[in-house]
Structure 1
Amino acid sequence: MTQRSVLISGAGLAGPALAHQLHRRGIRATVVERAPALRDGGYKVDIRGAATEVLKRMGLFEAARAADTDMRTVTYIKADGRPIATLDASLLMGRRGDDLEVVRTELVRILHDATAADVGYRFGDSIAELRDDGEVLFASGATERYDYVVGADGLHSATRRMAFGEVAARHLGAYISIFDVPDDLGLDREEIFFSAPGRMVFAYSTGPGTPTKIGMVFASPPLTDPRPRAVLRERFAGMGWRVDSFLAALDGVDDLYFDSLSQIEMPQWSRGRVVLLGDAGYCPSPASGQGTSLALVGAYVLADAIDKGDLAGYERVMRPYVDRNLAYGRKMAGDMVPGGRFQLAFRNYGMRTLRFNPWKRQIIEQVTRPLHEAANAVVIPS
């Protein structure tokens, strides 16, 4: 019998996770990645609920747990840097049981190392054309034929565009940027949040000697021609705290991430031999904190569906889970950036008084319940 074959576009999280599960099922997987090597950089990501069970079934949970950021505290501050409140990070972020938080780069390397010996990686290449009967023309000029082609190439998926045409992302009313600055804040597994109406800045470090990650989020309608550095300086100059020093460091930043908070909503994720996975098919936006979990669970479910030749089964299992997390992402996008001074003052008061409240765990449990319900809203195939 001829071994079945799958081409996966994208060597981020979803692609290698799918390749891992396809290999276990005796299906040959090839991952093509436009970048010349695994991408460096990246921020911390959450793995919750059903996704932790997927990692356990993959045999990678312990490796991921060893890479946990072990963040200790979250501090909300005023414009002069004085603290409003300092809270336990695991409590505030609603971590339960085996939930993990890891730096994205670490998780990508864990997945890559677990598949490198068995999966063909084609770095520095990409899909140029999808032809009939599973034939693919690569940018390098090579042609190959596959049983399935999987687009796991993110929010701005080129595979999606080739197979489905232009799909407009749903703008959630804000933009986010993340970049590194030298470690001069003295943070050790600590995160700082500073907000003003329509703007929010956060800074964290996952340990001594590691770069400090700076995040900037601001409310905005879609920008027609965003120039990231100029936009950030225009929106955040004079905000307070140490924000101007972060803006001054932008010219030396090589790994600037800048994008809209957006979602991808599609009535179907497959067309013929082409199927979408993770952000390419159902990006919930960074506001949800669920993109990594959706990618891991989606990879596991899709591998099972490909093995059975039942892409409709992939949609049946994943659709309620995806819809729940998309709805949660829309809610959180509205909560990330305070809309006015009253809303901001109300939130700060709540944070300031929470640590003295004897019912604080119950309060956090109630607030984070929708997140955990969304994180577990799927039955993973056995």
Structure 2
Amino acid sequence: MDSNSTGGTTAERIERQLAGARLRVLIIGAGIAGATLGALLRRRGEPAAIIERSDGEEDGGYMLGLMPLGGRVLNGLGLAQEYEAGSLPVRFYILHDRHGQKIRRYPLAPLVDRFGSWRGIERGVLLRMLRQAAGPIEYGTVVEAIDEDAEGATATFHDGSKATFDLIVGADGIHSATRGLILAQDEVEDFDTGWGGFVVWSTLDPQEADTYRELWSAGWGVGIYPVPGRCGIFLAGLHQELKEREAQEYGDTIEKRLPAGPFRNAVANRDRSTPAFYWKMADCRARTWSRGRTLLLGDAAAAFLPTAGVGASAAMDSAAALADELSRADVGHMDYALQLYEKRQRRRVELAQKNSRNLARYMFVNSGPMAWARDQFMRFYSLERLMRDISKVMEGE
């Protein structure tokens, strides 16, 4: 829903939205984290103002493997049936060696039976669900400055108008502009694997609809991740090489390297008409999540590599925890509420982020001998060890 058509300046439109609100909250960014927070607050009868830099006409971009950590949040939004209809269950993960031979097949039933469904969904499908539940969103809107005084945090919008809030939540992603407004550069830790990859789409083999597959070689790799009606393919390689190449040309190169089987079939049948999404395999971590009345949420606070498939789930889990703390907060003690939230979530988020980084060290190797050693090691790597840190997060640790 787009509220820009109601007229007036950005600040005037937001003031109308927040008239009579107990807490005046501005959410910057309507991605997974921001839309989830907005939907949860609205569900509690305390709607926030939400702004988004983009025009809202986003496509799916890429696929998400939503773990129970995130999927269960949709139960509280009344979106469980819509989520199930728009996603596929993930029941198996199969790891292949650098030659395409199967190393291990991991049944996910032990995790699913314990914590809940693990499902594949397109990011665009999930975003549409969450944004509809979140209510009005101001698209094409940017905050250019944040100033704080005794009255709260004042945002200056791109049209020059200003509004003051009890809390500003920066949920504007890994390249967060909000983070740059409140933190110094040395307060953010970057982690770069040196790899990247193109996400392209391909036809879905019905026999593969419940299975994720990955093949990691020396300096390149391929992943297959089904969603309803098609599958996403991740064509990975060294960032310095890929930034000079086109997605389809690189896909042709990868196809020639693959043995006959599911990987070659998926890459050969890829959709060449839809623009590819490029994902640089780098993340970041803010050393503090809040400053005054401004808080960072989701990738703006701690971004994730896609290696463990937990980024979207962690963002939704954090949004749920923040909504819970805000439901008990009062304006005079907002700093206390933010301290409680960060104490509640920071260790969990950084533990999940560490898991993604550790998996990247196994996957993203650049030499043949290292790839061989990794393949031998992974033959003895159990699901429990693979998911140890993520399991701790889902257990509430």
Q: Give TM-score, length-normalised by structure 2.
A: 0.75
Partner of residue 303 from structure 1, selected from 323, 341, 348: 323
Summarize the Cα distance change of 1:56–1:185 in structure 2 as closer, same or farther, 3 Å threshold: closer
SS of the counterpart of 1:40? coil
Structure 2 gap ranges (5+):
1-18
Gapped runs of 5+ residues in structure 1? Answer: 355-359
1:256 maps to 277
- Identity rate of aligned residues, in percent? 23
Which of 67, 75, 88 is the matching residue for 1:69? 88
1:88-237 alignment runs, 5 A limit: 90=108, 96-103=114-121, 104-116=123-135, 120-132=136-148, 133-166=152-185, 168-183=188-203, 188-189=208-209, 190-208=211-229, 210=230, 212-218=231-237, 227=243, 229=245, 237=253
> Are 1:240 and 2:266 an aligned pair?
no
Amino acid of the structure 2 residue aligned with 1:344 = A
Partners in 1 of 2:235 and 2:191 — Cα distance? 17
Matched, 1:267 2:267: no
Equivalenced residue count is 360
CA positional deviation for 1:315? 1.1
Amino acid at match of 1:240: R
* Counterpart AA for 1:336: M
Matched, 1:20 2:39: yes
Correspondence for 2:392 among 337, 358, 373: 373
Aligned mate of 2:311, from 291, 308, 311 = 291
The offset of 1:159, in angstroms, is: 0.9
Change (3 A) 1:233 1:376: farther
Report the CA distance between 1:280 and its aligned residue: 0.3
- How far 1:92 sits from its partner (Å)? 10
Conserved 8 A contact 2:93-2:108: no
1:185 and 1:106 map into 2 onto residues whose CA distance is 20
- Does the Cα contact within 8 Å between 2:196 and 2:242 map onto a contact in 1? no
1:131 to 1:228, Cα distance in 2 relative to 1, 3 A: farther
Structure 1 residue 303: Cα displacement: 1.9
Deviation track 1:316-340 (CA, whole Å, cap 9, x = no partner) reads 1112212312221221111222454
Report the counterpart of residue 319 of structure 1 in structure 2: 346
Check conservation: 1:72, 1:90, Cα contact below 8 A: yes
Partner secondary structure for residue 317 of structure 2: helix
CA contact (8 A) 1:7 1:148 kept: yes
Task: Indicate yes or no: 2:362 matched with 1:335.
Answer: yes
Letter in structure 1 aligned against 2:257 = G
Q: 1:327 to 1:197 in 2, by over 3 A?
A: same
Alignment of 1:75-94 (within 5 A): 83-84=101-102, 87=105, 90=108
Matches of 2:227 and 2:302, distance apart in 1: 29
Amino acid at match of 1:323: E
